[in-house]
Chains A and B, each alone.
Chain A
Amino acid sequence: MFNRKLRSTALAAALTLSLAACGSSGPANVSADSPSMWALTGGNQANFQASVDAWNKSHTDQSIKLDFFANDAYKTKVRTAIGAGEGPTFIYGWGGGVLKSYVDAGQIEDLTDFIAENPEVKDRYLPSIIKNGQVDGKIYALPNNNVQPVVLYYNKDLFDKIGAQPPKTWDELMALVPKFKEAGVAPFSLGGQSKWPDLMWLEYLVDRIGGPDVFNNIAANKPDAWSDPAVLESLTKIQDLVNAGGFINGFSSIAADSNADQALLYTGKAAMVLHGGWIYQGMKKDAPDFTRGGKLGFTTFPTVEGGKGDPANIVGNPSNFWSVSSKATDSQKAAALEYIKKGMFTDADTQTLIDSGAVPVVTGIESKLDASPDKEFLNFAYGLAKDAPNFQLSWDQALSPAQGDAMLANLDQIFLNKITPEQFVATMNATIGK
């Protein structure tokens, strides 16, 4: 009797151990005091994994525990974890208002002194990108992957089929809608359930119509900043496009985390998608024939007649960032800074990023980009980022979390035709300063 109990206990223990072993990857010398790192699944997952694996192999005493989460799930989880004092050592972020809320709550380390002591860290980055990790002149976050401008992707086969050219102006874009519908193809794919893909439309339209100052005023919390006519016109144009049937059937139930929105483009069900530079990596992996077979086209967002914005302006994510948690132990912080100094953007890292179809945010990579089989897209994205007079960070990250959430919820209502542009403006004006 006792013997049987003992055996089953041993069995359970063995099972637990083997299960636990499945859960962790890489060297087994990660201890409770190892720095932890949370990153996103998707395009850059393999790149982060490769960088950390290489680091852990040569720094067995400073091994990093790496975990991955889906985009939407991560944004919720990390904030809750940090609030509860359980956050990771490396906090993945986008900069902007969300970063500021962490700074205000005293949750992340000021890296200004570290950068002053190690100027080579700062020198590796494109200067226009590193400034997104600053709050009030101090450095709190450092770029960790690739530059991610939002571009207009299109399916060349479908354009050939109807004999059309990618739109250069908003009027041309609207004129394409009935042509594609007639051909039985959805003009645009959109991951509407995730809400943030809707935002890329508003960001570009407002920039093209009113220029960067419209949003700068909103971000600066100026009273009634949402009442700018450019915002109203942009929202009206979005609803015009929705009403014309511009977006694919069922767009409001498509989640971007599942990559279904990109799949619609390369399976020929949708002709175009407005999306971030990061989906090139996903499409390259999921549909290599499409991306390398010359069927994928990409261009900038169309201009709007009479608009004030520079057509070379871009929106998107300058990069993603690492911040270091101020609640980490001293040894975790030391290891984290050591990794930032020596483990990140090694030559191998930069090459892995480029091979995955991404443009690293570091200087002096032109020759490497030219050597890549994806050089067409990489040079396009790199050129966009380098030459843009204004690179606007995604609004949901640039604003405070409360404002960002209200904006996404109301924009969703705009795409569903449940509210008017005027109602949107009034609701959003009420959130200013929150």
Chain B
Amino acid sequence: MAVSVTTRASRRTLERGPSGWLAAPALVFFLLFAIIPLFGVLFLSFTRWDGLGEITLDGLSSWTTVLTDPITGNALLVTAKIMFFSFIVQAPISLLLGVFTAAGQKYRAALAVLYFVPLLLSSAAVAIAFKALLDPNFGLGPGLGLPLLTQDWLGNSDLVLFVVVFVIAWQFVPFHTLIYQGGVRQIPTSLYEAAQIDGAGRIQQFFSITLPQLKYTIITSSTLMVVGSLAYFDLIFVLTAGGPGYATRLLPLHMYLTGFKANDMGAASALGVILVVIGLVLALLLQRLGGKNRNDSQLEGA
């Protein structure tokens, strides 16, 4: 008797999910640290404030300043370029590395640890290290006497964007590799065994089993990559400070410099709102790609 009651109760819990109260702490923090400040920023975008004195309501003037400023357009373009190239470079590399390191051999485990090292360093440290290495007068190139490496990597407006993309990839490929490694290890080995019996080769296994099974992992990783590039701030701030000129001044950096260097909190808040909207739209679009049943288990029927 007692046993059947528990079973019924736990089945009901399964159907309805856990109690809504479990979400309460997260909701409270989200409200306190995300929603309320968000409205604060929205309010500030309609004011004029230099960060020190009085906050005065100023209608749409901050918005007109921001939207008519060519530097904003340029910042958007730079952000889009960094987002695009980061994705193009990071996604295939981390997918392949993830698949490679998912297998069990010892040397792969050792390599996985090695690949993981860049993620352990803080962005500021990575930026300072690369800044020193890429210095055209004291860096790696002149130090080793290699003319090929002796470029003005960070001072050349045409090169600098790709240098930034490279450094970002160096730091974040390990993270995405880890996600893919986890994803590949979730794929039941029975699928591969069946494929082998049917005579499928390694490449066919990769395209017919691994890639489709990784669909949701790919979406997760891509979302993090794309939305994450809206937040590449610290690395670029230390590495190039947005320069030379405006060549690497992407939107978050533009927002920071407007707010804390030019002391125009109104315009910076307007930029912040734009940033939030772009982030939300991108995240929603990528989630759509996953289809309606993205939260269902991939293991069913395996």
Once the chains bind, are A192 and B244 in contact (CB under 8 Å)? yes
Q: With A79-B260, A251-B155 in contact, do A269 and B52 touch (Cβ < 8 Å)?
A: no
- Tell me which residues across on chain A come within 8 A of B160, comparing CB atoms: 253
Give B210-257 interface residues, CB cut-off 8 Å to A.
240-241, 243-245, 257
Once the chains bind, are B245 and A416 in contact (CB under 8 Å)? yes
- Tell me which residues across on chain A come within 8 A of B136, comparing CB atoms: 249-250, 253
Once the chains bind, are A193 and B243 in contact (CB under 8 Å)? yes
- Tell me which residues across on chain B come within 8 A of A264, comparing CB atoms: 137
Query: Is A349 located at the chain interface by the 8 A CB criterion?
Result: no
Q: With A252-B155, A406-B262 in contact, do A416 and B244 touch (Cβ < 8 Å)?
A: yes
Inter-chain CB contacts under 8 Å: number:
89
- Tell me which residues across on chain A come within 8 A of B244, comparing CB atoms: 192-193, 252-253, 412, 416
Binds B, one of A25-33, A97-105, A284-292, A365-373: A97-105
B175 to chain A, nearest CB (A): 27
- Tell me which residues across on chain B come within 8 A of A252, comparing CB atoms: 154-155, 243-245
B68 to chain A, nearest CB (A): 12
Select which of A79, A80, A104, A193 is within 8 A of B240 by beta carbon: A193
Q: With A250-B152, A253-B154, A263-B138 in contact, do A402 and B50 touch (Cβ < 8 Å)?
A: yes
Query: Is B205 located at the chain interface by the 8 A CB criterion?
Result: no
- Tell me which residues across on chain A come within 8 A of B241, comparing CB atoms: 193-194, 255
- Tell me which residues across on chain B come within 8 A of A101, comparing CB atoms: 50, 52-53
Give A385-428 interface residues, CB cut-off 8 Å to B.
401-402, 405-406, 412-413, 416, 418
Once the chains bind, are A80 and B152 in contact (CB under 8 Å)? no
Size class of the contact patch on chain A:
20 to 34
Once the chains bind, are A402 and B153 in contact (CB under 8 Å)? no
Complex CA distance for A76 and B245, rounded to whole angstroms: 20
Complex CA distance for A82 and B53, rounded to whole angstroms: 10
Query: Is A15 located at the chain interface by the 8 A CB criterion?
Result: no
Q: With A76-B260, A401-B263 in contact, do A250 and B53 touch (Cβ < 8 Å)?
A: no
Q: Which secondary structure dominates where chain A touches chain B?
A: helix
Query: Is A229 located at the chain interface by the 8 A CB criterion?
Result: no
Q: With A192-B244, A253-B152 in contact, do A79 and B137 touch (Cβ < 8 Å)?
A: no
B240 to chain A, nearest CB (A): 7
Complex CA distance for A402 and B261, rounded to whole angstroms: 8
Complex CA distance for A269 and B243, rounded to whole angstroms: 23
Complex CA distance for A122 and B181, rounded to whole angstroms: 69
Complex CA distance for A253 and B257, rounded to whole angstroms: 18
Complex CA distance for A254 and B138, rounded to whole angstroms: 11
Question: Which of A79, A82, A252 has its CB near the most chain B CB atoms (within 10 A)?
Answer: A252
Query: Is A248 located at the chain interface by the 8 A CB criterion?
Result: yes
A303 to chain B, nearest CB (A): 31
Once the chains bind, are B155 and A260 in contact (CB under 8 Å)? no
Query: Is A62 located at the chain interface by the 8 A CB criterion?
Result: no
Q: With A104-B53, A416-B244 in contact, do A79 and B263 touch (Cβ < 8 Å)?
A: yes
Give A246-272 interface residues, CB cut-off 8 Å to B.
248-255, 260, 263-264, 269
Which A residues are within 8 Å of any B CB, using their own CB? 76, 79-80, 82-83, 101-102, 104-105, 107, 192-194, 248-255, 260, 263-264, 269, 401-402, 405-406, 412-413, 416, 418
Given contacts A104-B53, A416-B157, 19 further A-B contacts (CB under 8 A): A79-B263, A82-B52, A83-B51, A102-B52, A193-B241, A248-B137, A250-B135, A250-B152, A250-B154, A253-B152, A253-B154, A253-B155, A253-B240, A253-B244, A254-B155, A260-B138, A402-B262, A405-B263, A413-B245
Top 3 closest pairs, chain A to chain B, by CB: A253-B154, A253-B155, A250-B136
Which B residues are within 8 Å of any A CB, using their own CB? 50-53, 131, 134-138, 152-155, 157, 160, 240-241, 243-245, 257, 260-264
